[in-house]
Amino acid sequence: MSIRVRAPATSANLGPGFDCAGMALELWNELEVSEAESTLVEVEGEGVSETPRDANHLGLRAFALVADVEGKHFRFLNRIPFARGLGSSSATIALGLVAACLWEGVDLDPAELLPLAARLESHADNLAACLYGGATLSWEEEGLWHARRVADSLPLAPIAVIPEHSVETIVARAGLPGTVAHADAAFSGGRAALLGAGLASGDTDLLTAAFHDRLHEPYRSLAAPILSQLQEKPARGSVGVTLSGSGPTVIVWGRHEETSACAEELTRRFSDCRVLAMPVAAAGAGVF
């Protein structure tokens, strides 16, 4: 028996949607699981030197929530950069869960998988986008995470500017203050409302107005200097810029007809970074 599954990269927050909004991107990690005499873990691509080869692997921990990992060969192909704010851990969790469900013949939809996934990652914004695909909103109620996909695509093109250095989520969160000024909270709350409305309606003007935040981005900008540089001097054809998750990756939101020109300018300006134009992925984690 052998199965293959894939899971997309994700970008969370999208500016003011802190720990709530996310989107899936057309950059995919893969997992192949087959029978073996003993448990074997292979890893190719991104993060090879940083990934355990035993039951401590995050994908195996996710698999173990549904099925036994013993006597199986796990082969991971990673394309999503590690610790860059593009949801590599969420993709790994989703791969393990979806593969285990297929192995056991269990038909679980994303609404059932999300609470399982949240056992391994406490914030569901990346997880929801990875499992549902498209643009999603997630929220916690009485200790249980819920999510809805509010759009299959967006009227703007996300272009990722990915620095070489990494930022661990736990470190980025440690830099956030315990309280913020009422004016800043009101500002971000209003922009979050615009973001939700813009995602659901596909209104470019609402999204353009929404891509501003005072809740988390200002406190993470030291580790992501590209963010302020692009806010001060926008790239051609762009209407906004947001920090991707905890960073340091930045998402530049460009007009579709100017995506190529925008990406070319970003490549020139940030020659030490990877620049990837990645459409929103309508599909979430699953078989391919």
Confidence label for 221 from pLDDT (cuts 50, 70 and 90) = confident
pLDDT digits (tens, 9 = 90+) for 96-127: 999 999 999 998 899 999 999 999 998 899 99
Q: How much is the pLDDT for 26? A: 98
In angstroms, rounded to a whole number, what is the distance separating the alpha carbons of residues 159 and 11?
Answer: 11
In angstroms, rounded to a whole number, what is the distance separating the alpha carbons of residues 284 and 251?
Answer: 20
Tell me if 76 sits within 8 A of 47, measured CB to CB: no
Sole residue written with tokens 């980025």: 172
Q: How much is the pLDDT for 266? A: 98
Q: How much is the pLDDT for 82? A: 93
Q: Among 48-57, 74-83, 263-272, whose mean pLDDT is lowest? A: 48-57
- For 7, 162, 262, the CA distances from 179, given in Å and listed in that order, are 35, 30, 37
Q: How much is the pLDDT for 211? A: 97
Mean pLDDT of 241-251: 96
Q: How much is the pLDDT for 122? A: 85
On the question of pLDDT at 203 being above 80, the answer is yes
In angstroms, rounded to a whole number, what is the distance separating the alpha carbons of residues 99 and 198?
Answer: 34
pLDDT digits (tens, 9 = 90+) for 141-178: 998 999 999 999 999 999 999 999 988 878 778 888 99
Sole residue written with tokens 């078989």: 287
Kindly report the CA angle at 223 between 128 and 120, in degrees rounded to 5? 30
The domains located in the chain, with CATH, are: 2-152+282-287 (3.30.230.10), 156-277 (3.30.70.890)
Confidence label for 72 from pLDDT (cuts 50, 70 and 90) = very high
Q: How much is the pLDDT for 170? A: 80
Q: How much is the pLDDT for 108? A: 81
Q: How much is the pLDDT for 49? A: 87
DSSP string for the chain: -EEEEEEEEEEE-TTT-TTTEEEEEEEEEEEEEEE-SS-EEEEEETTGGG--SSTTSHHHHHHTTTS--TTEEEEEEE-SPTTSSS-HHHHHHHHHHHHHHHHHT----HHHHHHHHTTT-S--HHHHHHHH-SEEEEEEETTEEEEEEEESS-SEEEEEEE-SS---HHHHHHTS-S---HHHHHHHHHHHHHHHHHHHHT-HHHHHHH---SSSHHHHGGG-HHHHHHHHSPPTTEEEEEE-TTSS-EEEEEEGGGHHHHHHHHHHHTTTSEEEE-PBPSS-SEE-
Confidence label for 50 from pLDDT (cuts 50, 70 and 90) = confident
